[in-house]
Structure 1
Amino acid sequence: MDVIGKLTEIIGGVMVMMRRKDAPKTPAFGAAPTIPEARQQGIMTLKMPTARGWHGDEAPTPAPGLRVNAFARDLQHPRWIEVLPNGDVLVAEALQEDRAPRSLMDHAMISTMRRARAVGHSANRISLWRDSNGDGVAETRELFLEGQNQPFGMALVDGRFYVGNTDGIVAFDYEPGASRLSGAGERLVSFQPGGHWTRSLIVSPDRKRIYAGVGSLSNIADEGMQVEKGRAAIWELDLETGQARVFADGLRNPVGLAWEPVTGALWTVVNERDGLGDETPPDYLTSVQEGGFYGWPYSYWGGTVDDRVPQDAALVARAITPDYALGGHTASLGLCWMPEGTLPGFPDGMVIGQHGSWNRSTLSGYKLIFVPFRDGRPSGPSRDILTGFLSPDEKFSYGRPVGVAVGPDGKSLLMADDVGDVIWRVSAA
């Protein structure tokens, strides 16, 4: 580490210790969270564990009644999972590209992210994994698609395979059972790259539309709203007409997308803004209304104004309050609907991969959780499915949860771990 990096790390450590003594003791979780009053940090709290990975037979800790095993190993920063109808499991392997720092604080941020394996050289590929004998471990690995631009979301509709690259949605022809795709593909939608780079995809229940999550360029529109145009939003692509539009916005970084089957509503998990405190504001799980505005960057959790931002009172007045808080800075990214019966003892609900915080004095997230649903709404406190990704002293992360999907057998979950370079499988004990 260079001198500047060491100095900023020392300053950051002092700031963490100063703020920890005033940190809230109760996480902002649930439908009616207690959100502490904002405290502008000036110099942001910067704390991330060093990426260690898993050694030997080490593995996350499953909840009682469950077991966990490695479905696939030796990936390169696996982020997202798509299970095809024939049982093939596709994994997007991508990473935020490293870059030169632009300021002292930026230098500290990038140095910390390098240590946490959160930036680097992106593999820019999608790999295919097959578990032909059904024992919960993939025996076959294929290079399904390469040469992409930070691929993330994936979708298959009527013989066309769609990829959410950071700069847009690309479509490829697909034959059932194919183990490799080639060619440049057809670009259908263009997005501005940079900033929050992930582009998750989900197909509508009628198979006529694709929805894509596009995060903001910056924390709170630091470079103005013009460069944020079309960002902090969920997009809708009509597959028949090829027309694309913003479906809902004011969502700082919407990543995971899922359909709730009782009401047919689209849900997402959103990473909220930084620099206001350990639990302020919380990341959240919410249903998404067509034409809805969710506050960013002007306000959070409905109409709570962020006075760091030049205001738009009309937009704040129509800001929708999210449905369910997920704790401050948990970096909740992965999301899927899990029907009752998938795992023993779990009713219908949403599974969420919490990648883990960096902007708080005490780390949060770093686990796979479940939120129960009843009659189309969250119906109680969250439950842990997998824990043990973080060392007790918070110095090391063995892994970091990201994308999650119901397994091909319908009786398991698959979860991408981008620090452990593993796809974990959770099933009945």
Structure 2
Amino acid sequence: MRTHTIALALSFATLATAAHSQTAPVLTGQAAFTDYSKEKPGVRRHLTLADLPKPMPESSVTNRPELVPRPEGAWPQAPAGFKVTEYATGDFVMPRLVRPAPNGDIFLADSGGGRDEDNGRVIVLRGVGADGKAAQREVFATNLDHPFGIAFFPADNPKWVYVANTTSVVRFPYKAGDMKASGPAEVVVRELPGYAKLTGGGHWTRDVVFTKDGQHMLISVGSASNVDDSDTHPTEFHRADVLEFTPDGKFEKIYAAGIRNCVGEAINPITGALWCSTNERDGLGDNLVPDYITSVPEDSFFGWPWWYMGGHQDPRHAGKHPELKDKVRTPDVILEPHFASLQMSFYPNINKRDADHAGNDFPVAFAGDAFAAEHGSWNRSKRTGYEVIRVPMKNGKATGEYEDFLTGFVTADGKVWGRPVGVTAANDGALIVTDDGSKTVWRVAYVGKK
């Protein structure tokens, strides 16, 4: 049993586990491929197309995580100058995506359990108490079908909270400060492709964001499979796509295609462009196919299922659709294969913050950068992921690198106690991270020199 002293000491300690990222070397080439034993806060990596091996499906392995209770003394590790605390624990079934309301409340999708159970909910966390935990906690809505994406509309003075279920998008009436829905769910999009209808399962997460001008609603829908040819498998209809609707739910078009599972959507605050954090396919070996984080231009195509990474053909679809090879877009940031990259979000421009939102702001070098949660591998001989990464940006464009930011969720002998899923910046500047392994919401605040 953990003692109060140990927990208190850990939660309020500044964890100095690595040199400042600005001075850390960037690992490139084969050295950039990693596993959990090499993931340390501040380490940067840069993978390119030239680093990718040939497909080796015969070497593919099944190595699912062995989930264990958080061991005595285990704690997420952040770079020097950052403090990690437990923000919320207990009574979560599956804490997943998090998004801040304009007033600072944190809306969390507790996606529920069971393939066909409508026991998902949205929970609201508010403020920080003297103990470092959420000062208030309420259930905003219940009886949802595996909710994941959450969006506020209109952006500046929202009247609605949109929630993306597995097979639909609903919205609840909202005014600033509401911690409980003031009215019933209104169905906006009635039929999204859903895994409950499929024999073989498929990705169930659905994210939802609005374009910067508020004119369009973009919904990401993951594939129904790992490699099925969408020409011959009707279950792949409107999947592995980002779908465009009006805010009232009228289908407009396929916004972008060939994205196997765009789990996390985000609008770049500088450029206004859609970005995605994406799970790529498995079964081609330890170091294929990389997950990625990328801008997603309108009408772009990323290759799934026939191609990957800018014109590499999946050998399981050899000879198919040669006309598409030159149309495959290369992602902006190539991540470790099998990372299971989930939610991503952009850190705000600190210089433009309202004075009321100051407090735990990260150093100015983080302004405009992205963060992403890496849920962790199952298809790699040595585990990788189980961390939060930072994606450096310059003027709204990615440098191509990524950096280990929050690690320590795997024990030295490879057992897993935590799995990051959601990540967002709170209005006070702290980073909020959900972990559906230990069913904890973590808070990462900067306490170093301002």
Q: TM-score range by the shorter chain?
A: 0.7 to 0.9
2: CA distance between counterparts of 1:153 and 1:161?
10
Identify which range, 81-90 or 125-134, moves more after superposition: 125-134
Residue 96 of structure 1 and its aligned partner are, at CA, apart by: 6.3
Q: Percent identity?
A: 35
Picking from 292, 314, 323, the partner of 2:332 is: 323
Structure 2 CA distance for aligned equivalents of residues 257 and 296 of structure 1: 18
Structure 2 residue aligned with 1:418, among 425, 428, 436? 436
Preserved contact between residue 189 and residue 244 of structure 1 (Cα < 8 Å): no
Question: TM-score, length-normalised on structure 2?
Answer: 0.79
- Match of 1:219, as an amino acid? N
| Range 337-346 or range 203-212, more displaced | 337-346
Partner residue in 2 for 1:5: none
> What is the CA distance between 1:418 and its match in structure 2?
0.6
Q: Which AA in structure 2 matches 1:179?
A: M
Summarize the Cα distance change of 1:343–1:244 in structure 2 as closer, same or farther, 3 Å threshold.
same
> 1:78-97, CA deviations, whole angstroms, 9 ceiling, x for partnerless residues?
00102112222111111563
Q: Secondary structure at the match of 2:58?
A: coil
Distance 1:329 1:132, change over 3 A: closer
Residues in 2 aligned to 1:203 and 1:135: alpha-carbon distance in whole angstroms:
36
Alignment of structure 1 residues 283-322 onto 2, 5 Å: 283-309=291-317, 311-322=320-331
Deviations, residues 344-387 of structure 1 (Å, cap 9, x unaligned): 25343110111100001011111111011113322263222210
**Residue 409 of structure 2 is aligned to residue 389 of structure 1:** yes
1:248 aligns with 2:256: yes
Q: Take 2:128 and 2:278, find their aligned partners in 1: how far apart are those partners?
A: 36
Matched, 1:36 2:53: yes
- Equivalent residue number for residue 65 of structure 2: 49
What is the alpha-carbon distance in structure 1 between the residues aligned to residue 124 and residue 173 of structure 2?
16
SS of the equivalent of 2:325 reads helix
Q: Which residue of 1 aligns with 2:418?
A: 399
Contact 1:216 1:252 in 2 (8 A): yes
Structure 2 contact 256–301 (Cα < 8 Å) conserved:
yes
CA contact (8 A) 2:333 2:401 kept: no
Deviation sequence 1:241-293 (CA, Å, 0-9, x none)? 73342100100000111222333221111111111011111101111011111
Mapping 1:123-138, distance limit 5 Å: 123-131=119-127, 136-138=132-134
CA distance, structure 2, for counterparts of residue 392 and residue 241 of structure 1: 48
- Aligned position for 2:234: 226
Indicate whether 1:216 and 2:223 are aligned. Answer: yes
The 3 A distance-change label for structure 1 pair 53 and 235 is farther
Q: Distance in 1 between matches of 2:251 and 2:85?
A: 42
Q: Secondary structure at the match of 2:143?
A: coil
- Mapped partners of 1:406, 1:413: distance in 2: 5
1:73 matched to 2:79: no
Q: Would you say the 8 A contact 2:188–2:249 is kept in 1?
A: no
CA shift for structure 1 position 187: 3.3
Question: 2:148·2:164 contact (CA, 8 Å) conserved in 1?
Answer: yes
| Alpha-carbon distance change, 420 to 308 in structure 1, aligned in 2, over 3 angstroms | same
Cα distance in 2 for partners of 1:191, 1:297 equals: 20
Cα contact 1:219–1:273 (8 A) shared by 2: yes
1:280 to 284, 288, 295: 288
Aligned equivalents of 1:372, 1:325: Cα separation in 2: 13
Per-residue deviation, residues 99-133 of structure 1 (Å, max 9, x unmatched): 9xxxxxxxxxxxxxxxxxxxxx7741111112265
Question: What amino acid is the match of 1:336?
Answer: S
In structure 1, the gaps of 5 or more residues are 1-23, 100-120
Q: TM-score, normalised by structure 1?
A: 0.83
Distance in 1 between residues matched to 2:105 and 2:69, nearest whole Å? 26
Structure 2 CA distance for partners of 1:84 and 1:339, relative to 1, 3 Å? closer
Contact 2:76 2:407 in 1 (8 A): yes
8 Å CA contact retained: 1:404, 1:415: yes
Q: Distance between the aligned counterparts of 1:389 and 1:84, measured in 2?
A: 28
In structure 2, what is the Cα distance between the partners aligned to 1:403 and 1:134? 24
Task: Tell me, in whole angstroms, the C-alpha distance in 2 between the residues paired with 1:79 and 1:134.
Answer: 25
> 141, 147, 152: which is aligned to 2:143?
147
Cα distance 1:376–1:140, how it changes in 2: closer, same or farther (>3 A)?
Answer: closer
Matched-pair contact (CA < 8 Å) for 2:118–2:143: no
Whether 1:61 and 2:81 are equivalent positions in the alignment is no
Report the secondary structure of 2:324's partner residue.
helix
SS of 2:204 mapped into structure 1: coil
145 and 250 in structure 1: CA distance in 2 versus 1, 3 angstrom threshold: same
The residue that corresponds to 2:164 in the other structure is: 164
Q: Which residue of 1 aligns with 2:18?
A: none
Whether the 8 Å contact between 1:94 and 1:122 is mirrored in structure 2 is no
Amino acid at match of 2:169: I
Number of the residue aligned with 1:268: 276
C-alpha displacement at 1:189, in angstroms? 4.5
Distance 1:81 1:134, change over 3 A: farther
- Distance (Å, rounded) in 1 between the aligned partners of 2:392 and 2:279: 20
Amino acid at match of 1:210: M
What secondary structure, in the 3-state scheme, does the structure 1 residue paired with 2:392 have?
strand
Taking the aligned partners of 1:241 and 1:215, their CA distance within structure 2 comes to 19
Aligned residues: 382
Deviations 1:61-86 (A, max 9, x none): 11111111111111222001021122
In the other structure, the counterpart of 2:180 is: 180
- 1:144-189 per-residue CA deviation (whole Å, 9 max, x = no partner) reads 1110100000111131111100002112222332222252422324
Distance in structure 1 (CA, Å) of the matches to 2:130 and 2:189: 36
Q: What is the CA–CA distance in structure 2 between the aligned matches of 1:228 and 1:338, rounded to whole Å?
A: 34
Q: Is 1:427 aligned to 2:445, yes or no?
A: yes
The answer to whether the 8 Å contact 1:200/1:255 transfers is yes
* Shift in CA distance, 62/420, structure 1 to aligned 2, threshold 3 Å: same
Q: Which amino acid aligns with 1:323?
A: D
- Among 335, 359, 379, the alignment partner of 1:359 is 379
Separation in 2 of the partners of 1:161 and 1:150?
16
Q: 1:206 aligns with which of 210, 213, 226?
A: 213
User: In 1, Cα distance between the equivalents of 2:32 and 2:348?
Assistant: 30
Alignment partners' CA distance in 2, 1:326 and 1:50: 23
CA contact (8 A) 2:93 2:113 kept: no
